[in-house]
Structure 1
Amino acid sequence: MKTWRIDTPSQALVLASDGGIPAAVYWGPALPECDLNAIAAQAEVDVTGGMIDRLPPISLCPVEGDSLHMQPGLVAYRDGQALHPQFKLIDGNGQHFTVRDDALGLTLSFAFDAIGDVIEAQTVIKADDPITLHHLSAPVLPGPQSGDIRHFSGRWIGEFQAERSPWGPGVFKREARSGRSGHEHPPLALFCETGCTNTQGTAFGMHYGWPGGHAMSAEELPDGRRQIQWGHTTGSHGTGLQFETGRLVLSVSTTGLNGCATAFQRHIRDDVVTWPKPDTPRPVHYNCWEAIYFDHDLDTLKDIAKRAADLGAERFVLDDGWFGKRDDDTSSLGDWDIDPRKWPDGLTPIIEHVQRLGMTFGLWFEPEMVNLDSDLARAHPEWILGRVDQIEGRQQSVLDMANPDVRDHLFGKISAVLGSHDIDYVKWDHNRLLPTPDATQAHGTLELMARLRAAHPLVEIESCASGGGRIDTGILRQTQRVWLSDSNDALERLRIQHEVALLLPSVVTGSHVGPRKCHTSGRVMDIRFRAWVAAQRHLGFEMDPRELTEDEAEILRDVTSWWKDNRDWMCRADILRLDSNDDAVIAEQQLAEDGSRFVVFAGKATSGTQILPRPLRLTGLTSDATYRICLRNRGEAPGLSRAKPALKQGPVELSGEFLMRHGLTLPWSFPETMWVLEGELL
């Protein structure tokens, strides 16, 4: 028996092989130095009546023919015949493993890379002769023996809705088949032992870094063992000689969900994203979409830009409507030439204007899409993905990004615009579901993004897919920001931001102050709540600034100024979700990298069931240290908050132990309001 171990500060993975595909015999919290053979021996289980004579281990890629009677990790065909390989280990060094079936001409490789506090795992298959691949799993790992599965559902303007599912006999499966990471089933799940909360207990985090759709299955066998598989959307691979899974990102925590969350956040911020201007502070955005939609007028936009700059904006983004004959969403996608009707002198006049105001300029594209009413579709109908009679989405079709001619055309058009204008930011949208899952579509998109970034290395790209439909570490290897949701409803954003903090750091998470009346929900919300919710992440504005009263504008300036003063440390802070004993309160604590300061955002989503707020416990502090805490916006207390709790009077000084065991007593507040508390280590 050969054994290996892979370690990060918080987790350990022990692998063993008796000559075949290695198996994970332990995945869990960090282990001391120990006898790995003794651990491997614990994977040998008993047999009893009604079973086969020996249970083989659940390998990194279970294959049919091994008498496992479970979901296989490899389903492949050649010449219409199912393949049942018998792999033998030919190489293994503790990080990379290779197995081979000479008779079938198949080589399977597994890679494990410990990066910071996560492990990235990937499977690759190579064939001597072409195979048709139906399913290939990233390295298969065991599931915990107690607790439940935390995962997410969602929809347009309602992303990252938390779900909890129990383990049970059989297979729990989740699959995103829309051709994107997916609103419906984003590629993130946490497998929690009994008693796990945000701040305590054991959790196993898994994220599949692939922007083309995924399948996840969690299976409990009749013998009680559990396995977890992740891979591309079933049937999306096609036929070829080599295939690879996305990178499966693994984290383990004994400090609740937050331990997995901070490992993911730091990994994305420090190891996944490459920053065009790493020493430049994250700029405050202004996006003009919800102010003008398709109605572009230079003088109007100049006025809006001036008002946005006065509020504190540092980047002006011109959204949809600048190209082709784009007066609504029925035409011109694919025609990436500046519309001379709207912009007779090109985009230079608006770019120069916003630069004189001290802002940089960004531009919207939707490169993967095409309207049938476009010059491109008329010239190249063969470039459209899917059947001729397919149902369109948002009056648009999808370009075949696997076709190099399509990519060459798009590169030429987009690069010409970027190369002839001073543009430092691209909002890259993806508003249409694919007609059929196709992994080559995602590969083509990533290749185009990489090519554009090489040609324009100082341009930042935001991933937008009808909002949060394409959020994963695969797309973030080529982008630097995600548009979390098309909803600028602050109440909905409060919830979405709270949930996605299990994966994303604030530095990549775009959040904008929307209009007084939200365009997607119809809610009317106070500017204070809208501003503070946006200030939890990468701050921006997306409304018509002409609607603001002087009082509203002054409040927005104040919050924006606060965010600028704090953005450098907040962009590197850990986002820690707090366990609120009040169901009405959604709260988080952003803790500085060195632990010297923090900010708590406590949003009240609804009226509480009790009269007064319950104490809010903090987390991640030094028990015997003292912290000074002030209520940043105590002047926002309503008239019905009539008494004088300490935080309303001024700063308080309390021990870390008290703050984590008892918590802070907040003043009473109305629903749809936010308390902001600043803390510093004394």
Structure 2
Amino acid sequence: MPQWRLDTAQQTLVMASTGAVPQVVYWGTPLPVSEDLAALALSQVSDLTGGMLDRLPDLSLCPLPGSDWQGQPGMTISEVDGRQITPRFQLERAEIAPDSLMLHSAADGLRLTHSFRAHATGVIAMTTTLHADRPVRLHWLAAPVLPIAALGTEMIDVAGKWLGEFQLQRQPWSVGARLRESRTGRSGQEHPPYALFPEPGCTNTAGTVRALHYAWSGGHRMVAEELPDGRRQVQFGHAWGSELEAATSFQSAELLAVVSDSGLNGIGRVFQRDMRDRVVTWPDPARPRPVHYNCWEAVYFDHDLATLSDIASRAASLGAERFVLDDGWFGRRDNDTSSLGDWTVDLRKWPQGLHPLIRHIHDLNMTFGLWVEPEMINANSDLYRAHPDWVLGRADQTTGRNQLVLNLGLQPVQDHLFGVLAALLREYPIDYLKWDHNRLLPVVDAAQNRGIYALMARLRAAHPLVELESCASGGGRIDAGILAHTHRVWLSDCLDPIERLRIQHDAALFLPSCLVGSHVGARRSHTTGRVQAMSLRAWVAATRHFGFEMDLRALDADEAQILGRVTAWWKSNRDWLMQAATLRLDSADPAVTAEMQLAEDGARFVLTAAQIEISRQILPKALRLTGLDPTAHYEIRLLNPEDAPPQSRARCALATGSLRLSGAALMAQGILLPVAWPATIWMIEGSVAQIV
């Protein structure tokens, strides 16, 4: 029985085969190099009892009915004429290289390849590829199927909606299958392709947990199944039936696997590092992340050179370094009913094109970014009138936000979009495209997503210094697949800081702060109607890739002073802050949401503690920190003591000066913060103290 293993610093994956498709016999925290893999594989051979077949079918990397598998299959295929194919694969060979492995199995003119790569970031990436000697129809193909330890009692997956992304859902394991499937054509707010599998006692800062992320931006499917015999499997793949054409070759997206023995934060640290250092290809890695200004919530579709020039001057005076012109600059785009597809400047609004605005922005030492939504088209557009045949789906389909979708599976559509976008980038000095995607797809078509990737890759090859942001009604397309082509995500259209705190906090399990755009919104939120203080709005945005998005003419003097101060603080700290790990804290008070940004070298951190609502007890509970060197001593101070409410009468130690405490004390006992009003936030800065 051959065995194979892959290792990162965080996990070990061991596979074995009895001659058929290999199966995972261990996926967990690191095993010693001396582990006897044959004995490990033997230890996983189960007994038999009544009411079973006379052989226990393997929970293989692709469990199939042809191999007596009675649970959810890892692949479903048929001949072109519809006859089901039920192969019984046999292992042919293994290709072994440092940190990678390919396992090839074959049956009946079919070849199944499972590929694995262990990355220095800590993830193991894996794919499944199917080759056939004749065209076949693929209904379902899972990435390599993994077992889940029986010790866990629950799973955590992710749901959400517009203005409420990244909602963590806890579901108990039980006999049967849990199915999550996105059939909206994008990774989606509703079913983003992430799942976590904690063991009992797992918290943010302690315990064992496994996690999976399917790196695909189109429709996808997750099956988490517990069999009557007690075994558990998890499958991820493209959405069922999303391969619309018969073919001789199919491949899953990468499934990214992580294991942590330091709680959910261990998962977050690895995914954050992997996204930042491996998945994203930065145009200029040495360039500091610029402070954004986006004009959308200031002017919406009402574009005017004098107004936007005035706003740009105000943005620059507050410290902005990039000005993004949002929707409304092209075609005859006065609202969301027309002109998508017509990517030429509206000369009614911009009689000299965008050049005068860009010159003014450059004179202010800011760069220029532009909003586009290339995958979409309005029926009221010149492009639709010329090419109604380029629309994806039925002619009589229901629109979404008055939009139809261009069929990116068609090469002429890709060529056209590349041409118009490249023309814009040649004519104007644009350093950034906010790439939006504001409707659900009418069909689930994997070719559409491959077309999007191909278009973005082609555009980036032609204009390698231009950054792209993935926006899809806010956070509707956030995954490692799209981030292989982009450099920032718009996490949510909701700028209300109370809502943003929760969304950002939960998304930190998967995303680094340098990729997550977060903007200071208007005094009265445009999406919730709530009025929030500038201090809360600014500090919440300053925990991620910072920017602002409001009518700056409406700022009063106090708000402008606070915003300018927070902007200056962020710019002076961004070099380390944008490389920091975001660590969620276990708060003893459910009214407080707290997290740390911990520098890569561990020498400094920022702690944010947001009072979401009124606490049930009289005084604040101690807040334990995490990730520190227990033997080091840290100087900690409150960045915003001026935000203390009148009810804060005795002024605790942090409110009046700095403290020097060991990492051991900060993690074991924690710190006491001043009394806080609801909808306020405390910011605490810490650094290793110099010993004198």
**TM-score bracket for the superposition, by shorter chain length:** over 0.9
Task: Look up the equivalent residue of 2:157 and give its one-letter code.
Answer: H
What residue is the counterpart of 1:313 in the other structure? Answer: 320
What residue is the counterpart of 1:21 in the other structure? Answer: 21
What residue is the counterpart of 2:136 in the other structure? Answer: 131
Q: Say whether residues 1:185 and 2:191 are aligned partners.
A: yes
Task: Look up the equivalent residue of 2:509 and give its one-letter code.
Answer: L
Shift of 1:644: 2.1
- For the residues of structure 1 that align with 2:269 and 2:499, how far apart are their CA atoms? 23
- For the residues of structure 2 that align with 1:518 and 1:388, how far apart are their CA atoms? 38
What residue is the counterpart of 1:600 in the other structure? Answer: 607
State which of 289, 295, 307 in structure 2 corresponds to 1:288. 295
Shift of 1:102: 4.4
Q: Is the 8 A contact 1:144 1:192 kept in 2?
A: no
Q: Say whether residues 1:37 and 2:41 are aligned partners.
A: no
What residue is the counterpart of 1:107 in the other structure? Answer: 111
What residue is the counterpart of 1:77 in the other structure? Answer: 78
Q: Say whether residues 1:425 and 2:432 are aligned partners.
A: yes
What residue is the counterpart of 2:91 in the other structure? Answer: 89
What residue is the counterpart of 1:645 in the other structure? Answer: 652
Aligned residues: 681
- For the residues of structure 2 that align with 1:649 and 1:585, how far apart are their CA atoms? 22
What residue is the counterpart of 2:353 in the other structure? Answer: 346
Q: Say whether residues 1:143 and 2:148 are aligned partners.
A: yes
- For the residues of structure 2 that align with 1:106 and 1:612, how far apart are their CA atoms? 67
What SS does structure 1 have at the residue aligned with 2:495?
coil
What SS does structure 2 have at the residue aligned with 1:206?
strand
State which of 435, 438, 451 in structure 2 corresponds to 1:444. 451
Could you list the per-position Cα deviations for residues 274-331 of structure 1 after superposition, in whole angstroms to 9, with x for gaps in the alignment?
0111111000000000000000100000000000111110000000011101000000
What residue is the counterpart of 1:50 in the other structure? Answer: 51
Task: Look up the equivalent residue of 1:110 and give its one-letter code.
Answer: H
Shift of 1:622: 1.2
Q: Is the 8 A contact 1:43 1:57 kept in 2?
A: no
State which of 153, 158, 162 in structure 1 corresponds to 2:168. 162
- For the residues of structure 2 that align with 1:50 and 1:110, how far apart are their CA atoms? 32
What residue is the counterpart of 2:384 in the other structure? Answer: 377
Q: Say whether residues 1:227 and 2:233 are aligned partners.
A: yes
Shift of 1:610: 1.0
What residue is the counterpart of 1:204 in the other structure? Answer: 210
Q: Is the 8 A contact 1:286 1:317 kept in 2?
A: yes
Q: Say whether residues 1:172 and 2:178 are aligned partners.
A: yes
Could you list the per-position Cα deviations for residues 23-71 of structure 1 after superposition, in whole angstroms to 9, with x for gaps in the alignment?
0000000000210001101221010011011102200011112112000
Q: Is the 8 A contact 1:147 1:195 kept in 2?
A: no
Q: Say whether residues 1:584 and 2:586 are aligned partners.
A: no
Shift of 1:366: 0.2
Could you list the per-position Cα deviations for residues 528-576 of structure 1 after superposition, in whole angstroms to 9, with x for gaps in the alignment?
0000000010001010000100110010000000000110101111111
What residue is the counterpart of 2:124 in the other structure? Answer: 119
What SS does structure 2 have at the residue aligned with 1:286?
strand
What SS does structure 2 have at the residue aligned with 1:496?
helix
- For the residues of structure 2 that align with 1:649 and 1:321, how far apart are their CA atoms? 49
Q: Say whether residues 1:416 and 2:423 are aligned partners.
A: yes
- For the residues of structure 1 that align with 2:102 and 2:20, how far apart are their CA atoms? 11
Shift of 1:101: 3.3
- For the residues of structure 2 that align with 1:100 and 1:85, how far apart are their CA atoms? 11
What residue is the counterpart of 1:7 in the other structure? Answer: 7
- For the residues of structure 1 that align with 2:249 and 2:526, how far apart are their CA atoms? 46
- For the residues of structure 2 that align with 1:98 and 1:134, how far apart are their CA atoms? 22
Could you list the per-position Cα deviations for residues 378-428 of structure 1 after superposition, in whole angstroms to 9, with x for gaps in the alignment?
000000000011100000100000000001111111110011110000000
Task: Look up the equivalent residue of 2:467 and give its one-letter code.
Answer: E
- For the residues of structure 2 that align with 1:165 and 1:171, how far apart are their CA atoms? 12
- For the residues of structure 1 that align with 2:376 and 2:101, how far apart are their CA atoms? 39
Unmatched 5+ stretches in structure 1: none
- For the residues of structure 2 that align with 1:664 and 1:438, how far apart are their CA atoms? 52
Percent identity among equivalent residues? 58
- For the residues of structure 1 that align with 2:76 and 2:182, how far apart are their CA atoms? 19
What SS does structure 1 have at the residue aligned with 2:415?
helix
Unmatched 5+ stretches in structure 2: none
- For the residues of structure 1 that align with 2:133 and 2:467, how far apart are their CA atoms? 40
What SS does structure 2 have at the residue aligned with 1:171?
strand
What residue is the counterpart of 2:62 in the other structure? Answer: 61
- For the residues of structure 2 that align with 1:492 and 1:636, how far apart are their CA atoms? 20
What residue is the counterpart of 1:675 in the other structure? Answer: 682
What SS does structure 1 have at the residue aligned with 2:66?
coil
Shift of 1:670: 0.5
What residue is the counterpart of 1:215 in the other structure? Answer: 221
TM-score w.r.t. length of structure 1: 0.99
Shift of 1:99: 3.2
Task: Look up the equivalent residue of 2:93 and give its one-letter code.
Answer: D
- For the residues of structure 2 that align with 1:302 and 1:326, how far apart are their CA atoms? 20
- For the residues of structure 1 that align with 2:668 and 2:674, how far apart are their CA atoms? 19
Q: Is the 8 A contact 1:362 1:424 kept in 2?
A: yes
What residue is the counterpart of 2:557 in the other structure? Answer: 550
What SS does structure 1 have at the residue aligned with 2:421?
helix
Q: Is the 8 A contact 1:467 1:486 kept in 2?
A: yes
- For the residues of structure 1 that align with 2:617 and 2:219, how far apart are their CA atoms? 43
What residue is the counterpart of 2:257 in the other structure? Answer: 250
- For the residues of structure 2 that align with 1:307 and 1:481, how far apart are their CA atoms? 24
Shift of 1:97: 2.9
TM-score w.r.t. length of structure 2: 0.98
What SS does structure 2 have at the residue aligned with 1:93?
strand
Task: Look up the equivalent residue of 1:198 and give its one-letter code.
Answer: N
- For the residues of structure 2 that align with 1:459 and 1:404, how far apart are their CA atoms? 23
Shift of 1:185: 1.1
Alignment root-mean-square deviation, CA: 0.8
Could you list the per-position Cα deviations for residues 143-165 of structure 1 after superposition, in whole angstroms to 9, with x for gaps in the alignment?
12123111111000110111100
- For the residues of structure 2 that align with 1:168 and 1:60, how far apart are their CA atoms? 22
- For the residues of structure 1 that align with 2:381 and 2:556, how far apart are their CA atoms? 41
